[in-house]
Amino acid sequence: MPVWLSNVLALCIGCFIALLLCEFGSRFVLPLGTGVVRRAADGERLRGWLQAGRTYRQISSEFDARTTITAAGYRAPAALGNPDVVFVGDSFTFGWGIDDDETFAALSCATLHLRCANLGAPGTGTVDQVARLARYLKDQSWRPAEVKLFVFAMSATFSAGNDLFDNYLSARRDGATGEGTAPDASRAKPVVAPGLMERLLGQRRFVLRHSNLVRLAKYYWGPALRATLVPELDRIRLDESLRITHGALAELDRLSAEYGFHLSIYLIHPVQDIIRRTAGDTLRLLEAIAPVPVRPTAQLFASDPKRYYYAFDGHINPAGSHRIAELLIGSAQPI
pLDDT digits (tens, 9 = 90+) for 208-254: 787 888 888 888 878 787 777 777 778 888 899 999 999 999 999 99
Element spanning 37, H or E: strand 37-40
pLDDT of 162: 86
Same domain membership, residue 2 and residue 48: no
Are 24 and 136 in a shared domain? Answer: no
Residue 193 within a domain? yes
- Residue 195 placed within a domain: yes
For residues 19 and 117, state if they share a domain. no
Quote the pLDDT of residue 35. Answer: 82
- Please give the pLDDT value at position 203: 67
State mean pLDDT over 90-119. Answer: 97
* pLDDT, tens only, 266-323: 999 999 999 999 999 999 999 999 999 999 999 999 999 999 999 998 999 999 999 9
Q: Does residue 19 surpass a pLDDT of 50?
A: yes
- 335 in any annotated domain: no
When divided into structural domains, the chain yields a total of 2
Provide the domain limits for residue 183: 33-330
The edge-to-edge listing of strands for the beta sheet with 85-88 is 116-118, 85-88, 146-152, 262-268, 294-296
What does the pLDDT read at residue 183? 41
Task: Give dist(CA 174, CA 165) in Å, integer.
Answer: 16
214 or 255, higher pLDDT: 255
Of 81, 75, 98, 164, nearest to 127 by C-alpha is: 164
Find, among 182, 123, 118, 188, the residue nearest to 152 by Cα.
123
Q: How many CB atoms lie within 10 A of CB 97?
A: 24
pLDDT at res. 186: 41
Are 174 and 115 found together in one domain?
yes
Residue type, 54: R
Whether omega before 77 lies within 30 degrees of 0, making that bond cis, reads yes
The residue count for the chain? 335
Distance CA 227, CA 177 (A): 30
Q: Determine the pLDDT at residue 188.
A: 44
Q: Could you tell me the pTM of the whole model? A: 0.88
73 and 157 belong to one structural domain: yes
Least confident of 87-96, 166-175, 245-254, 310-319: 166-175
The answer as to whether 51 is a domain residue is: yes
Q: Do both 227 and 266 map to the same domain?
A: yes
One domain for residues 66 and 163 = yes
Q: Is 58 helix (H, G, I), strand (E, B) or coil?
A: strand
Please tell me what DSSP assigns to residue 163: H
Q: At 6, is the pLDDT very low, low, confident or very high (cuts 50, 70, 90)?
A: confident
As a whole number of angstroms, the distance between CA 170 and CA 12 comes to 44
On whether both 140 and 280 belong to a single domain, the answer is yes
